[in-house]
Amino acid sequence: MERPDAEYIPGARKYLSAELLDRSGLAVPLLAVVAAALRLPNLGKSLWFDEVLYSTSYAVSSLSRLWDLFINDITPAPLYRVLLFFWLKVFDETDLSVRTPSLLFGIASIGLTYRIARTYGSPRVAFLAASFLCFSPAHVWYSQDATPYAMTLFFLLASVLAWLRLRADPTRPAWYAVYCGGLLVTVFTHYFAALFLLPLTLMSLPLEKSPRRRVLAAHAVVVSSLALVLGIKYHFATATALRGFLRPFTPFEWWMLFFNWFLQGNSLWTVSPYRANVAYLLSEPLFMACQAFFCVLFLRGLFSYRAQARRAWELLALTCALPLVMLLLTQLGYRELYIERYLLVLLPFVAIVLARGAASFANVKAVIACSAAMGVIGAASYGAWLYKSETWTVYNQNPDWRAAASYLGAQVVPPREAVIVATAFPVELSYYFVRERKVPAPRAVIYDARSLESLLGDDRVKVLYLLRNNRRMAGVDEVLQRMKDERRLELTTTQSFKGFEIYTFVPRGAAGD
């Protein structure tokens, strides 16, 4: 039987309201309500590039198109696309409806984290870990993002919980079915999650012969299924992967993943992950002190938690096996390997370890102080994330493409006479034109000197809209300056939106027509 903190921290029982919530069954519903409330702000924000391609009818308009994407698409998330395809057949396609599955999976994953944490700690540990996830900017972000990561996280946690149940009662075959099915859904929601089979395999080795054999058989089914699907895609696919956003995984990246992105969502201390380095940390001594404090809590959570039979080595495998594999792959030469969201599945286990560390002290005041520190860092990070609504925190903030489509649609120029000039194709703008305006977007042209000269020689073109997207700045200022310097063009208006500006140019002499 699991022993609560109060059994080994003298006088602690009066502080354990978490134990009362656990016994009454109110802990998880209360956490779900808090999580939902914290995820309402920004839930209806404009969709961005990945969301449009993953989740909307822009890319998946029919079953045949869905199959084509399965064969040729570079993104490793087939089941999520299937879910959203049928989801949007039932519900009207709005920004809110597209994001609702991620919201539901994100909130439900907090409840699963609580249940898993109860296996590795007391009600205090479980409530503290789940509460930390409620406020975590990284968890909130992907609960509001119409991408597969919240769904992957939910089914992985469901699989881990099933593993814990079958370990406790290996005679019940239902848990093996849930475990195998959960892993299959997890891996086919995002292929990268297959790496999590490594810690699960390590954890299964000490099991008795019969349950160990069944668990490893489930792993073999998952690996074989994934190999078959990837083989089909490799044989038939015509697409090539574009992975310029990925980077090597180094010990510094590991440190920043756990004690920057997981800890405070890059929100209290904010730096682009592509520019973060040791020199940046040395310039922020308060940040380094904060990281060091929570690193101590993390280590205590792994090695100093007082209750018996908590299987700390399992938490070590759950939190550290994947990063070690990533380090090894980087050493083997795989340089385009890592972005934070690929390892989002580790966040709940890191939260559990931190909560165990906060509860590991024999002194009641130390337990309360460390628990309060986790609460403060969580709440402060969430507040900073809301405040920095146009800053790269968890990820780069969404430009307001919906408002831009409404602005351009309100202009009196017929679409055939208007041209959008951009340095990258504005997928989001095209999507919102079709969805909100029910008409095709103006023609879009990727800028170069030849295309501009061609547009200036076309008498049908009456207006040029230059998009200056602050997320993709490469070359745009040069394009803007060249168009300003062009004698045959006149800049008439500039309209700012969240994340970008639209500059309106007309052929000189046409402004007064």
Provide the residue ranges of all domains of the chain, joining segments of one domain with +: 5-241+248-387, 401-507
DSSP lists the bridge partners of residue 503 as 466, 494
With beta carbons less than 8 A apart as the criterion, state whether 12 and 310 touch: no
Measure the CA–CA gap between 160 and 118, rounded to whole angstroms: 13
- Range from 17-21, 110-114, 170-174 that averages highest in pLDDT: 110-114
Q: Which fold has domain 401-507?
A: D-Maltodextrin-Binding Protein; domain 2 (3.40.190)
The pLDDT, as a whole number, for residue 307 is 60
Percent of the chain predicted with pLDDT > 70: 92
Q: Which residue has the tokens 């700390």?
A: 312
What value does the mean pLDDT take over residues 436-453? 79
pTM of the model: 0.91
- Is pLDDT at 8 greater than 80 in this prediction? no
The pLDDT of residue 145:
95
Calculate mean pLDDT across residues 216-227.
95
pLDDT at residue 43 tops 70 = yes
- Interatomic CA distance for residues 255 and 498, integer angstroms: 32
Q: What is the mean pLDDT of the chain?
A: 88
| 3-state class (DSSP) for residue 218 | helix
Q: Would you say residue 439 has pLDDT above 90?
A: no
What are the tens digits of pLDDT across the range 366-418?
999 999 999 999 999 999 999 998 889 999 888 899 999 888 888 877 777 88
Q: How far apart are CA 73 and CA 52, in angstroms?
A: 14
Instruction: Look at residue 510 in the predicted model and tell me its pLDDT.
Output: 57
Tell me how far apart the alpha carbons of residues 285 and 281 are, in angstroms, rounded to a whole number: 7
Extract the tokens encoding 200. 């699960």
Categorize the per-residue pLDDT at 147 as very low, low, confident or very high, splitting at 50, 70 and 90: very high
In tens, the pLDDT along 326-339 reads: 999 999 988 888 99
**Residue 486: its pLDDT value, please?**
87
Tokens standing for residue 501: 């500006």
State the average pLDDT over residues 152-158: 98
